[in-house]
Structure formats: C-alpha cells, structure tokens
Amino acid sequence: MPKRKKPPPAKGVWPFLAARLGLKPPGLKRLSLKWLPRLRRPRKATSARPHARRSRYVGVLKLLLPAMAAVLIALVAFWPQLRDRTGEFRLRFEPIGSQDAETVRMINPRFLGVDDTDRHYTITAGRATQLDDGRINLENPKGDMALEDGSWVVLSANTGIYHKAQQLLDLAGGVNLYHDAGYEFHTEQASVDLQEGTAAGDTPTVGQGPLGHIRSEGFRIFDGGERVHFTGRARLVLYDEEGAAAE
C-alpha cells in the first residue's frame, strides 16, 4: 500500500493554532476572532491581598523589635537588683556626727598582757569603745589567764570597763568565772586586778565545784584563783565520798 504523503505545512495564523491545539480543519471554522485578544492578553498581576498581608507583617515587626530591644536593655540594667544577694558581701555607710567621728571604736578587739609573775592574760570583746579618760568600754568581754601550775581561769560578762594603764577590769551583768579544776562562780559584779591576779565582788555569789556548792554575799580571789574567800553570810554544802550533801 503506498505511503500517505504528509500535507504541506499550513501557512497563516489559523493553521498554526490548529496544529498546536490539535484541532481538525473543520474546527477552524468555529474559532472566532474573540480568542485572539484573549490569547494575546498579558497575565493579570498577582492579587493585592498577599501584598497587604506582607505590609501588615512588616509594620508589626517595626513595632515589636524596638519593644523587645527596650525590654532587653531594661533587664540588663536592673538584673543586679533582681538577683538574690543574701550570701554576698556588702558595704554600708552610715552617717555619723562629729562627736562620733572622734570616738575610737573597735570590732572584736584583743588585748594581751603580762602580770607581775609573768603570767599571760588575754581580753577579748565583741566591740570596744575608747572613752575620753583612757578607759575602754567593752561589750561581751571575755578573759583568760594562765596560772603558775599550768591551769587557767576564764571569765566573761555582759559589759566591762578596761583600765589599760592600771590593768584593771570591771565587769557587770552575768559575770561568770571558771577554773579548769571544775570550779565556777556566778555573780552580777566583779573587779579584776590583772596585774596582781586578784578579783573581788560584793553582790550575791553562787559557786560550785567537785567538793560542793556555796552561796554568799560576796567573794575575794587571791593568787590567780589559788585562794577564794567568801564574804557576808555564806552557806556551804559539801559532798562526801558517796556524793551525799552535808552542810
């Protein structure tokens, strides 16, 4: 069977469209000129709605970013005040008058000395204030002295006055004296001569030790505690070897 010859390519606009659109020749009659403007018409521009949404987003960012920057700057500025500073070291300055500025104050002072027999003693306190006449006012004073036999005596009180030049110590309020042999005395007032190693008090005194306990109207201590004399009306209770009390 002889091969069919291809028709020559059509010339003109309509044959070209027919070939592109796959239309048969009779279909060309149905095409009207109204298709041509539609084919030549450029694409419509994209809708204005996405553009408006983008503009709104940019406007929000313009307001939000400066606000966030201001918040960050405020946090950096006030962060030290917001932190917990309970365990931190702090310095505080208090206003003082001219009279207070001339007064010498010490925190946790420590005084060392030696008596006539080269026995060393130490006096400490929570706070000390230098008075005009050379005396030193002590808060919560404590003192200890080493004796010749190697034993020691410790005393404490609520307040005290230390005469540094005379090596005298006046104690008041809750006065307690302890000896390492197990003896202790409690009274409300006592005067201690650190140079001589003596002490005295004229207020009611309560004492106790391994041998018994005693109450008196005062006391005198000599030789750094080697001898103790109770003054006024005294009541002594001694313990026997079995621990029974006997007046």
Residue 128: burial class (beta carbons within 10 Å; 0-12, 13-18, 19+): buried
> pLDDT tens digits for the chain (247 residues)?
555 555 555 455 556 555 655 555 554 444 455 555 555 555 555 555 666 677 777 777 788 888 888 888 888 877 766 665 556 666 666 665 555 556 778 899 999 888 877 888 899 999 999 888 889 999 999 998 887 777 888 999 999 999 988 889 999 999 999 888 888 989 999 999 988 888 899 999 999 988 889 999 999 988 766 788 899 999 988 877 665 555 5
- Per-residue model confidence (pLDDT) at position 31: 47
Give the Å distances, CA to CA, from 124 to 72, 104, 140, 174. Answer: 52, 16, 8, 16
Interval 2-25: pLDDT, tens: 555 555 554 555 565 556 555 555
- Per-residue model confidence (pLDDT) at position 27: 45
Q: Which CATH class is domain 98-246?
A: mainly beta
Whole-model pTM above 0.85?
no
Handedness of CA 144, 147, 152, 153 (dihedral sign): negative
The Cα–Cα gap between 92 and 215 comes to 48
- Per-residue model confidence (pLDDT) at position 94: 62
